[in-house]
Chains A and B, each alone.
Chain A
Amino acid sequence: MIVNGERTDVAFAPYKTLLEILREDLNLPGTKHGCELGECGACAVLLDEEPVLSCLVLGVECDGRKVTTIEGLVSDGRLHPLQEAFADLGAAQCGYCTPGFLVTAKALLDEHPNPTREQIREALAGNLCRCTGYQQIFEAVEAAVTRAQ
């Protein structure tokens, strides 16, 4: 598979999930887990640009496909505008759900560069955050849009 733009060869037991392979075999611990049952959204990554829950995807399904994790959001040593906005505006408190929110929000902005508040809510509805109450997350996504323009 192609992980964060790099061709990656990895051997693993066939029952392993993408989440386990990222964290345990590829040394990419930025992707988190909150339930391992597809309930919380903490393990979201992009698979061929689409957000997926990596705890529900088997590694063997990812052969030759593009995987983007939180570690792949920084490019040329610069944070993605979403990362800057999340850090500045209090959208990350404990930071545990943050990687999942960020990649999901990136997929949203890649498809809708100027989303409405409702579209943001809808896109992030599968990601649970117990710290923020979401409001500062919505504001950060909107600020990232403004900053990118």
Chain B
Amino acid sequence: MRIIGTPRRRVDGRAKVTGQTKFADDIVLPRMVHCKLLRSTVPHARIVRIDVSRALKHPGVYLVLTGKDFPIPYGILPVSQDEHALATDRVRFIGDPVAAVVARDELTAFDALDLIDVEYEPRHTFSTPEESLALEGIAADSGPTQNQIHEYGDHGNIHKVVSLAFGDVEKALAGSDQVFEDTFFYQGSTHLPLEQHAAVAARDPDGKLVLWSSTQTPHYVHRALAKALAMPAAHIRVIATPNGGGFGGKSDPFNHELVVAKAALLLDRPVKICLTREEVFYCHRGRHPVLMHFRTGVKRDGSITGVHLRTVLDGGAYGSYGVASTFYTGALQTVTYHIPAYHFQGCRVFTNKPPCGPKRGHGTPQSRFGQEVQLDKIAEALSIDPADLRLRIMERPGTLTANYLRVTTIGLAECIRRVVQASDWTNRFRKLPRGRGVGLACSSYLSGAGLPIYWNDMPHSGVQLKLDRSGGVTAFCGATEIGQGSDDVLVGCVAEVLGLDPMDIRPVTGDTDLTPVDLGSYSSRVTLMMGNAAIQAAERARELLADAVGRKLQIPKSRLVFADRRVFDAEDPSRGVSFAEAVSSAEALFGTIGTTGSYTPAPSAARFKGGGVGPSPTYSYSASVVEVEVDESTGWVHVPRVWIAHDIGRALNPTLVRGQIEGSVYMALGEALMEEQEFRRLPARLSNALVHKFPSMLEYKSPTTLDMPEIITELVELPDPQGPFGAKEVGQGPLLPVMPAVANAVYDAVGVRIDEIPVTPEKVVKALQAKASGKAPRFGPMRFPEVPWPETLQVPPPWEGGDGRAINAPARPTAVGVGPRES
């Protein structure tokens, strides 16, 4: 291979370093006007009255929209259509959009927001999952349905509650040599992309709607617009502009996109909105705060007998991807380690805070943190080296897990060996001077969700190629460039097959009018799915060209080589034609040359309800060792070095692969040490309202150049048969092992367990104080709330003769509204 595997400049590199990449807010159109949103100032209320008359009279204001302009709800998941572009009768968190002003410029629109009068009738504010779970008690005075945040969901303020058992865990735990029980908490955090969300909408000259937006999922935005605006999808074009960072935060259809679309239709002129940084904190869709409880049974040799995991997710005010997030907190435990019996219970509740959703790792970092810290404790109790323990218990390649996830190749053992060797683990673990330590953890992640967001049988990714006599190739795909390099993957795969330079190929991506559907940049799916589709399209084009060149030169097709912009005889490289001549010959013979390729994942083995979350064509694996220095007087944790090895299958462009790994380590360290999406109550004399503690980049801490350690990256290349040229994902997996490795390193350094993320100086000091006063040397949650778990769905694992189906059919909760508890 000539292109694949060679470090090189990405295809869009020049545009990015010259400032010519056109982001959504860089779009300026003739007659363009500007939009601003009025957001709720109270956390939970009924809207009694909205009066926009003063705003409408303000000079320069063209339009004011409110909830009555948007009667149709939408949402990313078909089961959670719980959002309106503007609040119809309820607001559910501070920042929930209530009205929109469109004016000649941003400042005029901003001024006019103050002229909109909204009367709110406050409702009880739910600030924590515990409060939401106690809804029935609180409701005594005003009646539960009035206080309930949504009128759908499993019951009360519970959005989703699930219980799945794969085998008899209680029996497995009873047969263990030891059972470990731990409670962990993982705080929420936000994506903080440098680019604030922006969108421009306009009618094209034919009257159809065009929306340019910084979105990771133009196809889903397209669907949401068609639904919420009640328009034929064929009359809507969504163009995803390159995202200035996404990390999952631009994966939902957003209020502001629908608002500018509607405004552009009504005014028949382009309408732009760019959110302020504060508003980006309110859009959120970030990491769910998760409280979790692990009961893990082990044999003396470390092998796991069974795991019972319970999670409670603080979902915030809307559904978003939350149902999937809930299942993800329990889906991938079995993919990393062999767990013969597994019981997962998850519960997502609504609270009056910005909605949580998918952030890099989507639902898996939280319980990955818990499991990896607990394994560190198990290793110590059993006197087994933590690296050795993981080598003993890791899942085996080519197996079907207890919860019916099909695992293909596993590079985890090699990842562990690499970081152990590179970090000199054996000579340092438990051997460094007090205050210094090393910690190890592992993980696995999806290479693309096996199922789409909405049920359908169609491909997940499509690629179309256009070749013409100039020798030029254009590659069309709905995939979205969010900085990860998806355009480069597209042209890299095509260039390799057709023997071109990647720079010879023009990518056209993320445009619902021009490009075939790709589901979007989420779930680490693009490289694998688009890559496979691109290879198929390119192979079909190569076939046509080979046919034409073979006939022209009288050479059997099978002997033709495509390389260095030529098509030539493998046995006599001087016999051949240029690529442009090859296309010309094919065009003369077959007419206009165009091919398509598509990719659809194989059906999942899981056939139980909830089995749609977790399946993937293949899984990536990572291992990390983190070194820390802990100041015992201040609790300050300094990270000088991180070693990380990632099972990438094959690195298509190693420069970009390394960038994804180092970027994952960066984001992981932010979460591990400082990042928090935190809320507080205003004093009673103000309003007692629940507000975001610091919706600004200054106070929401994220690592700077001065905070970043040296990162030693190891690529483990074990080509996977499912991946394009063997490639697996790299965008999310390498984030996962870092947070637990930090906590494990702190324990190695100063002997205290921080069972909570982030590991802040305050928590370290408190744990050290607890240790000094003879208490448990630990900081972390002490208890797990009462949850009305439903009847457990029983799915026998493959080794007990299961076929992926449940053997019982629990009654579904009847309730919309508050039903009796089912505990």
Contact = CB atoms under 8 A, between A and B. Distances in A.
A53 B635 CA distance: 33
Given A87-B13, A135-B708, 15 more contacts: A34-B277, A37-B277, A39-B697, A70-B18, A71-B18, A73-B18, A90-B656, A94-B246, A94-B482, A94-B483, A96-B21, A130-B667, A131-B245, A132-B663, A134-B705
Interface string B154-198: 000000000000000000000000000000000000011111100
A51 B663 CA distance: 25
Chain A's interface: helix, strand, loop or mixed, by majority? Answer: loop
A71 B19 contact: yes
Interface in B10-29: 10, 12-23, 25-26, 28
| Max chain A Cβ within 10 angstroms of own Cβ: one of B193, B655, B659, B698 | B659
Measured as residues with beta carbon below 8 angstroms from the partner, the interface class of chain B is 35 or more
Nearest to A13: B107
Contacts of B15: 95
A121 interface: yes
Contacts of A135: 662, 708, 710-711
B662 A122 contact: no
27 contacts: A37-B698, A39-B696, A39-B698, A69-B19, A79-B18, A84-B17, A86-B13, A88-B13, A90-B655, A90-B656, A90-B659, A93-B485, A94-B16, A94-B194, A96-B245, A125-B705, A127-B705, A128-B702, A129-B194, A130-B667, A130-B702, A132-B666, A133-B711, A134-B708, A135-B662, A136-B655, A136-B658
A46 interface: no
A40 B18 contact: no
A124 B697 contact: no
A18 interface: no
Contact of A98 (B16, B277, B659): B16
Interface of B: 8-10, 12-23, 25-26, 28, 191-196, 242-247, 276-277, 482-485, 655-656, 658-659, 662-667, 696-698, 702, 704-706, 708, 710-711
Nearest to A95: B16
A128 B14 contact: no
A115 interface: no
Given A30-B19, A90-B10, A97-B194, A37 B702 contact: no
Contacts of A37: 277, 696-698
B697 A79 contact: no
A73 B666 CA distance: 28
Given A34-B196, A122-B706, A133-B708, A87 B659 contact: no
| Max chain A Cβ within 10 angstroms of own Cβ: one of B19, B20, B663 | B19
Task: Give 7 nearest A-B pairs by CB, closest first.
Answer: A30-B19, A94-B483, A96-B244, A95-B16, A133-B666, A87-B13, A70-B19
Interface string A57-69: 0000000000001
Nearest to A140: B17
A70 B193 CA distance: 20
Given A35-B696, A69-B19, A125-B704, A94 B658 contact: no
Contacts of B711: 133, 135
B247 A130 contact: yes
A126 B667 CA distance: 17
Contacts of B242: 94-95
Contacts of B245: 93-94, 96, 130-131
Contacts of A125: 704-706
Contacts of B277: 34-37, 39
